[in-house]
Amino acid sequence: MPEESSPVQRKILHVDADAFYCSVEERDDPTLKGKAFAVGGKAERRGVIATCSYAARKSGVHSAMASYQALRLCPELIILPARFDVYKAASRQMHAIFHRYTEMIEPLSLDEAYLDVSQAKHCRGSGTLMAREIMQAVRDEVGITVSVGVAPNKFLAKVASDWNKPNGLCVITPDQVQDFVFELPVEKIHGVGKVTAEKLHSKGIKTCGMLRQYSPVELCRWFGSFGERLWELSRGVDDRALELDRRRKSLSVEHTYDEDLHTEQSILTQVKPLLEDLAQRFQKIKNEYSVTKRFVKVKFNDFTQTTLEEMIERDDQPPEAHFRELLIRAWQRGNKPVRLLGVGVRLLDLRTSGQMQQLELFTMKMKHSQSL
């Protein structure tokens, strides 16, 4: 019998641009180099920081922080408006570089992606050498830096890309996996947020090595279905393939208001413009997805928030009425002034579901009260 060929060793790269928006801004305006600056909305218009320079981070500024709060921490902070067309152009340049090495690419956002170079012939098949070449090419051609993690799976590659930022390279070889993961803080596990981390810490579990002391049954008892995933990742096991054609699971729009909304009527007057924006965005993808649920998001002036959703069913009530009702119910949960409203829909991919029937949620005449 012919001898079976050994399985190909997986080589996954996670490429992540360093402070992407800020790096592009600094590239185009070198006077920003070394300064504390950010890309985001104006403080007086209830803006939020999208990303910030490493100099700003030293003062405690971080993404998703309210701009006024960032300025309190760092009074000299320069806040620039976003230039998404420029960032998208830089992202396209980066992806063109990625495609020189492999077609197995999973884009995660404008500034990061997974690359499977397991079968790539470049650099004698060395994932490390390919990572170095990609870093150099992005620096030379795009004018920014990226950090790259190289590992046998997606979980470890993503952890590695954050290990030596900025402009860093971290390689985890197969024989290093167990030792590396053993010392890894549980906060580094994909899917472990603040609440789960606190629950783990309350049980004395600080590292993946400590997590390994518990069986899948015990972890599922504490964390539900995520417990089994915790058990696997604490051992460095992650068999997920790259999603080469990432498909949407939802579509939403939201708006932060310059002044808080205090009453039910003030909230209801915002529904129509939000839904018109949502309907306009849905037009671009309406032939690819079916709508299964509608949902709303309400963020109060103390930054607490709540969401509410419901299944879509055929009835005679106009879609706007459903969203109005959902928003008021969500608002009543906190009954506080509102700084942000959001509306959205959950989507079913028609290409993979085999369902070609489209619920006519967005059969709107974009005028009068018939709009979404």
Given a contact cutoff of 8 angstroms between Cβ atoms, the answer to whether 77 and 36 are in contact is yes
CA 35 to each of CA 83, 224, 265: distance values in angstroms, whole numbers, following the listed order: 19, 45, 44
Q: Which two tokens stand for residue 161?
A: 């890309």
Other CB atoms within 10 Å distance of the CB of residue 148: 26
Other CB atoms within 10 Å distance of the CB of residue 166: 14
Given a contact cutoff of 8 angstroms between Cβ atoms, the answer to whether 365 and 319 are in contact is no
Does 16 carry a binding-site annotation?
A: yes
Q: Per 3-state DSSP, what percentage of the chain is helix, strand, and coil (rounded to 5)? A: 40, 20, 35
What is the rounded CA–CA span in Å between residue 80 and residue 52?
10
CA 235 to each of CA 63, 156, 176, 321, 333: distance values in angstroms, whole numbers, following the listed order: 31, 11, 12, 49, 41
- SS3 label, residue 172: coil
What is the per-residue burial (b if ≥16 Cβ within 10 Å, else e) of 177-213? beebbbebebebbeebeeebbeebeeeebebbbebee
What is the rounded CA–CA span in Å between residue 173 and residue 170?
10
- SS3 label, residue 241: coil
What is the rounded CA–CA span in Å between residue 118 and residue 102?
9
Given a contact cutoff of 8 angstroms between Cβ atoms, the answer to whether 78 and 120 are in contact is no
Q: Which residues are catalytic?
A: 112
Bind-site residues for Mg(2+)? 16, 111
Bind-site residues? 16, 111
